[in-house]
Structure 1
Amino acid sequence: MFSSHAIKPALSLIGVGLLALVTSACSHNPIQTQNKTQVVQVHAVSAQGIGEAIGTVTFEDTAKGLKITPKLSQLTQGAHGFHIHEKGSCEPAEKDGVMQAALAAGGHFNPEGAPNHGTPNTGHLGDLPVLQVDAAGNASTPVIAPRLTLEMIQGLSIMVHAGGDNYSDHPKPLGGGGERVACGVISSTK
């Protein structure tokens, strides 16, 4: 027969063990409903290199996709092409013997091999809604990239182009945004 004095310590040890197991499981499996965010500094870019900081872009996972909130200044008024690019660099690079702003960022993020530039729902994964800049040169309106997550864009870059974006390759390639004017590297959070 077991005495009640022997059972109580054994039950206490089992309780402590279960508590440790539950605590360990919770610490390794955080609650999935918490939104993850990341803030990236954005700089003006030119063929000569990376210039001054012009603000930030905040990325946040949401139920509708990746929310991208700019806090940018010193841009020209109007619509600007806004994209995730495939490489984590904002350095200039040479193409056809000419240095070009932020060319080291590569093209639009397109791991699925979409054949054409398009909308955030149909084109390259890096095709984002147009960035709207007000009369004072500021951009602060959030956009949603429905097919992206924060994890997918780690190590890539965010790019602002000089012109707008018609979500097509016609009459000009890649929406007609043209020259790259601002860029930020999305450094890995891991």
Structure 2
Amino acid sequence: MRRTAAAPLLYACALVLLAACGGAEEEPVATAGEDTAAGAGSEAADDGLEVTLVDPEGTEVGTVSLAETDEGTEVTVEVDGLPPGFHAFHVHSIGACEPDSVSPTDPAMTGDFLSAGGHLGAGEADHGEHQGDLPTLFVSASGTGSLTAVTDALSLADLTDQDGSAVMVHAGRDNYANIPERYAPGGPDDMTKGTGDAGGRIACGLVEG
């Protein structure tokens, strides 16, 4: 009889334990679309700008993604259809990508995408230390290339100021004005200090906020 009486008590205890466990499993869980701290952080990290690169004929040749991270602004470049080799890649100070345009600093100069002006931050330092100086882009024999870099020299706010900005691919590689005195006893010339001897502008993307 004692065993029979104990059985209902054990059964009741088991039900209580199961109910308690079930309650633990039913703790609120974040689902897609809910405004949680983690979700808000992820959305903030994903915020950024998408830029289309075009050549002087207006043909799309790539994209540039710009996003702010804890370390700085992440720049991701994907191109297709550009000449093989190393190409300088910069952020220029004016949001204008006009083919066969006039340089805003020298009306006597005309050329593709000159409307974008010089490098962002060019008035504050020599080339290699500009805000808009970024690593060189390598394009393979197939015409494709990619680049990912993080810079703390500029922010999305810098890129989308009153006159905007533009991302630029140049015809040649960038020497970053790094010319030893044994090659140039007087130091780099003004062109090298301004552009790194990167040559013409072959692709441009307007940065819009």
TM-score of the two chains, using structure 1 as the length reference: 0.71
Partner of 2:50, secondary structure, is strand
Q: Deviations over 1:30-77 (max 9, x none)?
A: 9566212211111002xxxx5211121111111222111112111112
Query: Percent identity, aligned pairs only?
Result: 34
- How far apart are residue 129 of structure 1 and its match? 1.1
For the 8 Å contact 1:44–1:52, the answer to whether it is kept is yes
Question: Aligned pair count?
Answer: 151
Amino acid at match of 1:183: C
Partner of 2:176, secondary structure, is coil
Root mean square deviation, CA, Å: 2.2
From 69, 85, 89, the equivalent of 2:92 is 85
Matched with 2:28 is none
1:65 aligns with 2:66: no
* Superposed counterparts of 1:114-129, under 5 Å: 114-118=124-128, 123-129=129-135
For the 8 Å contact 1:129–1:144, the answer to whether it is kept is no
TM-aligned CA distance change 1:96 to 1:152, over 3 Å: closer
Which range is displaced more, 151-160 or 162-171?
Answer: 162-171
Matched with 1:159 is 168
Q: Which protein shows a greater Rg?
A: 2
For the 8 Å contact 1:129–1:145, the answer to whether it is kept is no
Matched with 2:53 is 42
For the 8 Å contact 2:74–2:149, the answer to whether it is kept is yes
- How far apart are residue 147 of structure 1 and its match? 1.5
| Unpaired runs of at least 5, structure 1 | 1-25
Partners in 2 of 1:183 and 1:37 — Cα distance?
A: 18
TM-aligned CA distance change 1:151 to 1:32, over 3 Å: farther
For the 8 Å contact 1:68–1:144, the answer to whether it is kept is yes
> Counting helix residues as a fraction of each chain, which structure ranks higher?
2
Matched with 2:31 is none
1:107 aligns with 2:121: no
From 106, 127, 140, the equivalent of 2:146 is 140
TM-score of the two chains, using structure 2 as the length reference: 0.65
TM-aligned CA distance change 1:106 to 1:134, over 3 Å: same
For the 8 Å contact 2:51–2:206, the answer to whether it is kept is yes
TM-aligned CA distance change 1:106 to 1:98, over 3 Å: closer
Q: Deviations over 1:115-158 (max 9, x none)?
A: 3001xxxx110111111212211122212222122222112100
| Unpaired runs of at least 5, structure 2 | 1-34, 179-187
For the 8 Å contact 2:49–2:208, the answer to whether it is kept is no
Partners in 1 of 2:54 and 2:140 — Cα distance?
A: 18
Partners in 2 of 1:175 and 1:132 — Cα distance?
A: 16
